[in-house]
């Protein structure tokens, strides 16, 4: 997968978040409109959440 900065005006996909998306996560073969798009704040929070459970994932 790939993480890319976007300039398209679209809402963050994280539930009630009202920010505009800054990044999208591209899984190969996924059409642009179906990609996961997140704002910078949510992306940062998700990154730190992942860090806390990383050991359980491996």
Q: Does residue 36 belong to the site contacting Zn ion (CB under 5 A)? A: no
Nearest-angstrom CA–CA distance, 58 and 40: 26
Which residue from 6, 17, 20, 36 is in contact with Zn ion, where contact means CB under 5 A?
A: 17
How near is the Cβ of 41 to Zn ion at its closest, in Å? Answer: 6
Which residue from 8, 11, 19, 27 is in contact with Zn ion, where contact means CB under 5 A?
A: 19
Q: Does residue 43 belong to the site contacting Zn ion (CB under 5 A)? A: no
Tell me which residue of 19, 24, 22, 17 sits closest to 3, measured CA to CA. 24
CA dihedral (17, 21, 22, 25) positive or negative = positive
Q: Does residue 24 belong to the site contacting Zn ion (CB under 5 A)? A: no
């Amino acid at each position: 997968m790939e993480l890319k900065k976007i300039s398209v005006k679209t809402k963050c996909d994280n539930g009630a978040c009202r920010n505009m998306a800054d990044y999208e996560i591209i899984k190969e073969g996924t059409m642009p409109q179906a990609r996961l798009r997140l704002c910078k704040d949510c992306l940062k929070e998700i990154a730190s959440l992942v860090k806390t459970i990383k050991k359980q994932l491996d």
